[in-house]
Structure 1
Amino acid sequence: MAKPGRPSTISDVAALASVSVGTASKALNGSGSLRPETRQRVMDAAARLGFRPNAAARALNEGRTYTVGMITTDSIGRFSIPILIGAEDALGAGRMSVFLCDARDDPIREEYYLRTLLGRRVDGIIVTGRRSQARPPIAADQPVPVVYAFISSADERDCSVVPDEVGGAAKAVEHLLAVGRRRIAHVTGPEHHHSAQVRAAAARARLTDDGLDFAVPALFGEWSEQWGRQAVSLLLASGTAFDAVFCGSDQIARGVADGLHAVGMRVPDDVALVGFDNWSVMALACRPPLTSVDMDLEGIGRVAANLLLAAINGEPAPGRHTHPCRLVVRESTAAPPGLAPRP
């Protein structure tokens, strides 16, 4: 038994459980082939003594630090924080910690953080950011596994986890068609932006499957509420009727909602409205609350962390892994009065 005033050791646990120190170590680390009753006896002894394994000694014995680095270019945390939460959920089961580093789109800062993390002997690195398009690999021939989350690596040999933006846009259009909308407009971000291109192309392809097209050509602009309000003026100026607007982001959709209200058009009675991101700050503040595509950023973080753990354990999974989106339906979409939704 431990002496008063002295922290308990694994030897104390082994003595109380009537097992060897080696057996106690295996039981506490979840390793080895032990009988369930033996493992439980050791766990009970550790709990009784208030024993906590020495993380530094465990790391030294196993050649690991039980830490992971995360490097992001998303300074405001809109995408990186949910991904971090998901990664911590997955890594916490293995008692691993995450160091978050904000590179701020600065290659020099990114290189500095990479050297710092490697100097701390992290077991692996997750790279993320605020754009889903491919980026150059963080560096070649790293001594630890690297997984890209939300963004992807331009090197197909790297492991990347990305949202299925094509599938998400298709779900948005399918929902609008299901509630009886046929004259669908699309308002999205900058034309050069990867996500704007992908979501617009996917939405149009889904309409084509039903023999339809956008009510007016897709409107590209900014990822902002102001652009959403301006886009309403452009839609009205086109002279073409529309009964739904699918927006490339929730910020744009909230601006569109404001623009429609300003000219006396009702959402969803006159125009159904769908956004993309399911950013609660925007989607729930919209009036009415906004139907939106959720990329499940926390899920992406969990998948990336699990793939990193597998790579750390010698089972890498290179390539591009696509994570499904889901549609969160709220009051901004409904069938027009007198028209039953399509089954």
Structure 2
Amino acid sequence: MFQRCSKCIKNLGTKKKTTIKDIANVLGLTPSAVSKALNDNPRISDKTKIAVKQVAENLNYQPNHLASALRSGKSNLVGVIIPRNNSNFFSSVLEKMEEVLNKKGYNIIITQSYESYKKECYNIDSLLFTQVDGIIASMANETTNLKFYEKIKSKGIPLILFDRGENDLNVDYVGIDDYDTSLEIVEHLVGSNYKRIAHIGGFSHTRIFKNRIRGYIDALHKFDLPYEEELMSESNLTLEDGRNITTALLKLPNRPDAIYAAGDYAALGALQVLKEQKVKVPEEIALVGFGNEPFTSFVEPSISTINQHSAQIGRLAAEAFIERINNPKKEVSLNKIILKAELIVRGSSDRN
């Protein structure tokens, strides 16, 4: 039935890239029949499917997902943009997100902005070029101009934001209540009799960090504690930022008796400096981080921190995308899901 030709296969195997037409020539079939066989079309016999898939494997055939997406208008790919994949928070979000989307027949393409606006714009263009069916994103620290996110919306592609996102975009969002969580952290420190609380914050142009700063300041006012600019800083919340800012805080004539860092890596940097300078934690200076990175429970003293329910955020963001993609023409109300975070009190802020 098939014009099998080992010489043809051998010659084709040296080509740069095998096409459906190459497989068709080997077997004496039409390219249309090969395409249907590769996609398990019921009109193609099992015998033909087996032959086609065997030749495809021998020739190391790789499907052209972009061409397929252009033909069908659906790629079954979801683009995901995150600042970095080196944190437990984002890796946990991705794991649950991928689990949910895989069950629905979708694969994810993960891109990292490295907190760069320029890289984030490049990632968005690349994902749009790849014809992804939707984009789920957490914004870079540098991002203040939303035109590339508006570009996604203008193309009618579902856009879901998580953790970091801006209300101005008016899209689905999943995250925690950063303002209330910040209030809770300060309340915990005040309840443990700390009165001069410094804040190592993220950049205030980013909504979540703006809310954490606002919560910190409002909590100080709530407990009749003065807000002092020398105790407030903005940064990328890296380990080095934590080290540098804490070093500066310890040089103040009236240094703080507690440090609240809006990220665990900055908190770890702070802890390193405090220990190097023989500052007793929490007796002299307390420390609270944010994010519940695994190392926070291993260091000595263990670092008090915030559990952001990362797996739940990943699941809910994926489900929001599925709801959008399944109802392309139906009005679906915006999903604004705000979870209550959990304060985990550990040795770095527990005087009891």
Pairwise TM-score range, normalised by the shorter structure = 0.5 to 0.7
Q: Deviations over 1:55-100 (max 9, x none)?
A: xxxxxxxx99693402315354535432222212433554543333
Structure-to-structure mapping, 1:78-117, within 5 angstroms: 78=87, 80-102=90-112, 105-117=119-131
Q: TM-score, normalised by structure 2?
A: 0.65
Does structure 1 conserve the Cα–Cα contact (< 8 Å) formed by 2:165 and 2:207?
no
Q: CA RMSD in A?
A: 3.5
The runs of 4+ residues in structure 1 deviating greater than 6 Å are 63-66
Change (3 A) 1:81 1:176: same
The alignment status of 1:297 with 2:310, answered yes or no, reads yes
CA distance in 1 between counterparts of 2:308 and 2:279 reads 29
Could you tell me which amino acid in structure 2 is paired with residue 322 of structure 1? Answer: I
Verify: 1:263 aligned to 2:280, yes or no. no
Distance 1:69 1:206, change over 3 A: same
1:222-252: CA deviation from partner (whole Å, max 9, x where unpaired): 3233333333343333322532211122222
Task: Compute the displacement of 1:255 (Å).
Answer: 2.1
1:161 match: secondary structure: strand
Q: TM-score, normalised by structure 1?
A: 0.67
Answer yes or no: is 1:74 the counterpart of 2:83: yes
Aligned to 1:187: 200
Say if 2:152 is the partner of 1:152.
no
On the 8 A contact 1:294/1:326 being kept in 2, the answer is yes
Corresponding pairs, count: 274
Query: Which one-letter code corresponds to 1:235 in the other structure?
Result: L
- Residue 167 (structure 1) shift: 2.0
Structure 2: where are the runs of 5+ without partners?
A: 1-39, 43-71
Corresponding residue to 2:301 among 265, 285, 288: 288
The one-character-per-residue Cα deviations of 1:92-132 (angstroms, maximum 9, x if unpaired) are 554543333456625344213212134xxx3x432334449
Gaps of at least 5 residues in structure 1 are 1-8, 12-62, 337-343
Question: Following superposition of structure 1 onto structure 2, how do residues 1-343 of structure 1 map, counting pairs within 5 Å?
Answer: 67-78=76-87, 80-102=90-112, 105-118=119-132, 122=133, 124-131=134-141, 135-136=146-147, 137=149, 138-153=151-166, 155-190=168-203, 194-214=207-227, 217-222=230-235, 223-240=237-254, 242-281=256-295, 283-314=296-327, 316-318=332-334, 320-335=336-351
Counterpart amino acid of residue 279 in structure 2? M
Inter-CA distance 262–103: structure 2 relative to 1 (3 Å threshold): closer
Amino acid at match of 1:90: V
* Residue matched to 1:16: none
Counterpart amino acid of 2:189? L
Deviation by residue 1:12-58 (Cα, 9 ceiling, x = unmatched): xxxxxxxxxxxxxxxxxxxxxxxxxxxxxxxxxxxxxxxxxxxxxxx
Against the structure 1 CA distance between its residues 151 and 218, is the aligned structure 2 distance closer, same or farther, given a 3 Å change threshold? same
User: Quick one: percent identity of the two aligned structures?
Assistant: 21
CA shift digits 1:132-174 (9 cap, x unpaired): 9774424233344322222325644322223322122112112
Between Structure 1 and Structure 2, the one with more helix by share is 2
Alpha carbons 2:239, 2:265 under 8 Å: kept: yes
